[in-house]
Chain A
Amino acid sequence: MPRLSYRRALTRALADELTRDEAVFLLGEDIQVGASLVTTGLAKRFGTDRVRDTPLSEQAFTSFATGAALAGLRPVIEFQIPSLLFLVFEQIVNHAHKFPLMTGGQCSVPVTYLVPGSGSRTGWAGQHSDHPYSLFAHVGVVTVVPATPADAYGLLVTAIRHDDPVVVFAPAGAMDVRDDVDDLVPVPLGRGRIHRFGDDVTVVAIGHLVHDALAVAEELADQVSVEVFDPRTLYPFDIDGLTESVARTGRLVVLDDGNRSCGMAAEIIASVVERVRLLAPPRRVTRPDGAVLPFAPALDRAVQPGRDQLATAIHLTMKDSA
């Protein structure tokens, strides 16, 4: 079985789709040299017309992609910095996302927004460390956050083939994950994955935090049986899959690298408790309300959801239902 890194899985997905479909092209800043180390070699292989470097004009090139999609192409935009999504939120939400409805079904806007290195990259401080996936779920843009190399490949391929806009968050904390991967295949949207079965509590973990949840589950294995559920797609969300899991365990903890208020964890918990009577109040481990990541590494870590917090939340949930 070949070892594949998450980062290389993204590269493979881009290369495979560029090969498969002439309508696919890449757009972004410094992608010809591959500053993010994801688009490495693609300009040489597919030409600078299909792997296009842009000036620092995020709003224009995001809407340029919308126009190109309206004309039948399938653009993929790479954003090196997650906070750039704030700058182009208008172009994605008000135009790309709204055009199919507003035109009464006259068009589709198949654009993929790829953010390699979302969330904290220790030391990049306040304006480069956000993880704004909940915003896109809120407005109804398809949002995926793969945790593993196989899912990074499969979900990026699916995103590119999808007929609506899709934001792909590739967390910095997952970029160096390596796995033995047998098959590189498309992964369907809206289908979660149980990485580890358990009986006592379901932990929903998003993106790179899946690996933290698995580590904590292993650490606590002699005290509590933890199931780890990875939604993979945040919108649409696999509520049926999660409901099935929580119906078995009766307890729910959510580990989410977004801010607490109006975050994904809140939505996930609400969606579950609408359907399932839990044995204990659900808990969430998130960034604080309104978090701005401070620069100093110890402060940066203090604001991100951590393994200790997750272990504590699991213990409290068990205690609450004892």
Chain B
Amino acid sequence: MTDADPVRLYRTVRLIRRFEQRAVELVHGGQIVGGIHPYLGQEGIAAGVCAALGVDDVLAGTHRGHGHVLARGADPARMLAELCGRVTGLNAGRGGSMHAADLSIGVLGANAIVGASGAIITGAVWAHRRRGRDTVGVSFFGDGAVNEGMLLEAFNLAALWRVPVLFVCENNGYATTMPVAGAVAGSIAGRAAAFDIPAVQVDGQDPETVRVAASAAVDRMRAGGGPELIEARTYRFDVHHTFEHAVRLDYRPPDEVTRARTRDPVRIQGERLRDSDRAAVDAEVEATLDAAVRFALSSPEPDPADALTYLYASGLTARTGGGS
């Protein structure tokens, strides 16, 4: 099941990197409103974990969620159209950056509430397995989420009912501006240990290391094992949110940022390829993203009359707020 092809792994991290850079440009250009939480620097985690998944598997992500959606195989053009609020977007322009979802490939959505994905994925995996599928799930979250009670309750449920969920903590060192040392008593792996959930710490900057750890966990889960946790140590190369490009917040020492940037997942994986292979991937990714940007910006914006279409799956219609 695992996709061990180093070229494809490189393509995924490169795609996410360039997607995010293009998206930041579109934020600055005003084509993406509301800003984004760039996944820059953390690409190796989504790429490595998703390379370990099969077609029936499900995942849910975070507010910093573009990487998870792309690594799972969503169409970059429809993803970018979503960020631009167009009807052709994955969510028909109703979700945006923080809620991008593609249920057709098991992406139950980026989720803007910290720590929310664990219980949702646990329920989804349990339900799929009850319906006879061999599904495993992945719940991505950051270091900030390990202090959310809702997530710790999900650890307990998944372990208690032996639901095969891979909890992936992307520890980038900061919950917005709060350093891990200022927020986390005990340890992240220790939280898993409290529920008898096996946990490993890996170098999240190396996509192949992440892939190997995730594959081993997925293999054990498919063989009947319960949930596992991977703490992937990483660093975000850019801001928490693009509003910081306008308002500089002083919370990370510049030399820490400079040092962290030397461990670049795109470069690390790229060096495993022949130059010609890497150049071919880079060119293909550029062409894909050129087309994605054209598609997104040429797609129609939704009709304001349809603002609450999809509010109810049942077809219930809401009263309008107007005065007539």
**A residues neighboring B (CB under 8 Å):** 49, 54-55, 57, 59-73, 75, 90-91, 94-95, 99-110, 140, 142, 162-164, 189, 236
Contact = CB atoms under 8 A, between A and B. Distances in A.
B124 interface: yes
B123 interface: yes
B108 interface: yes
B52 interface: no
Nearest to A107: B103
Given A67-B122, A95-B116, A163 B314 contact: yes
Contacts of B131: 71-73
B127 A103 contact: no
Contacts of B153: 55, 57, 59-61
Interface of B: 58, 89-95, 99, 101-104, 108-109, 111, 113, 116, 118-128, 130-131, 149-150, 153-154, 156-157, 160, 308-316, 318
A70 B311 CA distance: 16
B120 A73 contact: no
A64 B160 CA distance: 13
Given A57-B156, A104-B92, A106-B101, A63 B123 contact: yes
A163 B120 CA distance: 18
A163 B157 contact: no
B88 to A, nearest CB: 10
B37 to A, nearest CB: 16
A163 B119 contact: no
B113 A90 contact: yes
B132 to A, nearest CB: 11
A163 B92 contact: no
B93 A73 contact: no
Contact of A94 (B113, B119, B315): B113
Contact of A164 (B90, B93, B308, B316): B316
Given A64-B123, A103-B94, A164-B316, A55 B157 contact: yes
Contact of B119 (A59, A99, A109, A140): A59
Contacts of B120: 63-64, 66-67, 70, 95
A67 B108 contact: yes
B93 to A, nearest CB: 7
Contacts of A62: 119
A73 B156 CA distance: 22
A67 B123 contact: yes
10 contacts: A55-B157, A55-B160, A63-B119, A64-B122, A67-B126, A71-B58, A94-B113, A95-B111, A104-B92, A163-B315
Nearest to A63: B119
Contacts of A107: 101, 103, 313
Given A71-B58, A71-B125, 9 more contacts: A64-B126, A64-B154, A67-B119, A71-B124, A73-B130, A95-B113, A105-B94, A162-B314, A164-B313
